[in-house]
Structure 1
Amino acid sequence: MPDLIIHNRAYKVTGILFDKDGTLLDFIAMWGCWSESVFEAFAQQLRKRGLTFSSDIVPRLWGTIHGKDGKITDYDRNGPLAMGSMQDLYAVLSWQSYQAGLSWAESMELVQQCKQHADRELERLRPAQPLPGLLAFLASCKEHGLKLGVVTADDTESAERHLAWMGIRSYFDAVVGSDLVELGKPFPDMMQQACGKLSLSCSDTAIFGDTNGDMRMGLAAGAAVSIGIHAAANAATAAQLLPDANEWISGYSQLRIGRRSDEG
């Protein structure tokens, strides 16, 4: 069993599960683009119906952070966009159109139209970008015989597509989205199902994620170690954002797969 070495500490693991957005790929490049398309279409659809929608409320809906030009520049790691399922996001937006004056049925139809518009834009742009150092780390994992999987709040079909866009789908032996489990993160179901598909024990498996929902899932499932990834300036900041992580890293360059006994 190889060692996963983090900050000179070694963990014996036979597999690693990764969250997708913000962990494998650049969250803002991907979901900032998609969210902006959704909100733009949403405002247009309401205006067509003679209803108003203030852009001031947008950051509070899904937990997005915007620049002066309105573009999404960051996100709340504990907010709906980071931690919620796609159905959670649609429900939040449907509630806004219901509050604006539409029936609930009309609200759900409107949100689906906006989602389809944003999906088409995402397919056209394909903005999925792997995080720095990820490809080398995945290659090292495979060289040492680790089984790899993805556990994501996204739908499984979409997750498969995004991994393919980045050219990394072949690294993963299992992909589990929120549509395949009854309870998503922070509950253990997703990790348990992925480990089952990989014939792994959760206690021999590491989990990587960028939200505390990922960390709490790992804790609930009995993961060998839960690693939070965040480009924070210091460990104290990362610990505040991801309090249930066992370890914090700012990038994949801080990791190594090998044998601790081989050092020195």
Structure 2
Amino acid sequence: MIELNTPQGNYPVSAILFDKDGTLLQFVSLWGSWGECFLDQFARKLEQRGLSFPEQHRASLLGTVHDAAGKITDYDRNGPLAMGTMSDLYAIASWQGYSLGLSWAEAVELVDSCRNAADAMLEQSRPVRPLPGLVPFLDACAAQGIPMAVVTADETAAAESHLRWLGIHQYFTAVIGTDQVERGKPFPDMALLACGRLGVSPAEAAVIGDTNGDMRMAKAAGTAVAIGIAGGITAGLAADTRADGTLLPDADCIVSSYAELGVRRMVR
């Protein structure tokens, strides 16, 4: 068994489960690009049908933060883009189209075309960057022989592509997307399936994530520890989060970067 070292204490674990977006890769680098393309396409296609996408809904539709030029600079860690499945996002956008006057069928078709355009843009540009300190931490875990898995609200095929774009797919024994389970986060299904694939008890696994959905999944599955990583949050907000746990109230501990985590083999 390995000891996972955190600023708040040390935990004996046999495996580590990672969320993907905002935990392995920088959330805005990928989903900011995707969201901007999706929203631009959505507004343009509505306009072609004589409809207007209300500007005040641009941020609230997916749970994103925009600058004056409309560029996505941050995201709501308790919002649909951060915590929802892709099906959730498409349903939300389809409802918006329906509420503006499209039939449900027309709204679904419009959203699907926006999705295809945003997905194609990602495939071409591959705008992914790892969180600072991630690769050295994965190297340290691999050196200790710790089995690792990814548990993500994204679909499995897309998640595996993103891990390959980052060059880190080889670290993970299992990649569990929301399409492999009946219930996504915050339910325990993905964590339980990942532990089964790794051959470990949930009570011996750590979960690392950036949303409270990750933390609640960990608690529901009975894992050893739920670690919140605030690396994508601005410095001031990260300090506030560590102080009172506002954004991650169910975390056992919160770190600002992987530099605060370490692993070592336990001496018997």
Q: TM-score range by the shorter chain?
A: over 0.9
- Counterpart in 2 of 1:218? 218
SS in 2 for 1:55: coil
Q: In the alignment, what sits opposite 1:18?
A: 18
Following TM superposition, by how much is the alpha carbon of 1:52 offset from its aligned partner in structure 2, in angstroms? 1.1
**1:213-252 maps to which residues of 2 (within 5 A)?**
213-231=213-231, 232-237=238-243, 239-252=245-258
**Which residue type is aligned with residue 49 of structure 1?**
R
Indicate whether 1:147 and 2:153 are aligned: no
- Whole-angstrom CA distance in 2 between matches of 1:261 and 1:157: 39
- For 2:244 and 2:130, the matched residues in 1 are separated by 21
The answer for unaligned runs of 5 or more in structure 2 is 232-237
Q: Deviations over 1:121-158 (max 9, x none)?
A: 11111011100000000010011010000000000000
Conserved? CA contact 2:207–2:214, under 8 Å: yes
1:39-118 paired onto structure 2 within 5 Å: 39-118=39-118
Given that 2:241 and 2:248 are in contact with CA atoms closer than 8 Å, whether structure 1 keeps it comes out as no
- What is the aligned residue count? 262
Given that residues 3 and 257 in structure 1 are in contact (C-alpha distance below 8 angstroms), is that contact kept between their aligned partners in structure 2?
yes
Match of 2:168 in 1: 168
Q: CA deviation at 1:58?
A: 1.1
Runs of 4+ in 1 over 6 A off after TM superposition: none
Displacement after TM superposition at 1:238 (Å): 6.2
What SS does the corresponding residue of 2:25 show, helix, strand or coil?
coil
Alpha-carbon separation, structure 1, partners of 2:15 and 2:192: 13
Q: TM-score scaled to structure 1, two decimals?
A: 0.96
Q: Kindly provide the amino acid, as one letter, of the partner of residue 106 in structure 2.
A: E
For the residues of structure 2 that align with 1:46 and 1:94, how far apart are their CA atoms? Answer: 11
Alpha-carbon shift at residue 4 of structure 1 (Å): 0.3
Instruction: State the shift of 1:235 in Å.
Output: 4.9
Q: In the alignment, is the contact (CA less than 8 A) between 1:95 and 1:107 conserved in 2?
A: yes
> For 2:32 and 2:126, how far apart are their aligned partners in 1?
12
Check the 8 A contact 2:65/2:72 in 1, yes or no.
yes
Secondary structure of 2:51's counterpart equals coil
Q: From the superposition, tell whether residues 140 and 14 of structure 1 become closer, same or farther in structure 2 (CA, over 3 Å).
A: same
Q: 1:89 to 1:25 in 2, by over 3 A?
A: same
Distance 1:260 1:147, change over 3 A: closer
The percent identity for this pair of structures is 54
Alignment match, 1:27: 27
Shift of 1:55: 2.2
Gaps of at least 5 residues in structure 1 are none
**Aligned partner (choices 244, 253, 256) of residue 259 of structure 2:** 253
The alignment's C-alpha RMSD in Å is 1.4
Deviations 1:27-58 (A, max 9, x none): 00110000000000001111111111122211
Residue in structure 1 matched with residue 131 of structure 2 by the alignment? 131
SS across alignment from 1:53 = coil
Is contact 2:36-2:72 (8 Å) kept? yes
Query: What is residue 194 of structure 2 aligned with on the other side?
Result: 194
Checking the alignment, whether the CA contact within 8 Å between 1:13 and 1:224 is kept in structure 2 is: yes
State whether residues 42 and 111 of structure 1, in contact with CA within 8 Å, keep that contact through their aligned partners in structure 2.
yes
Separation in structure 1 between the aligned mates of residue 185 and residue 208 of structure 2, nearest angstrom: 13
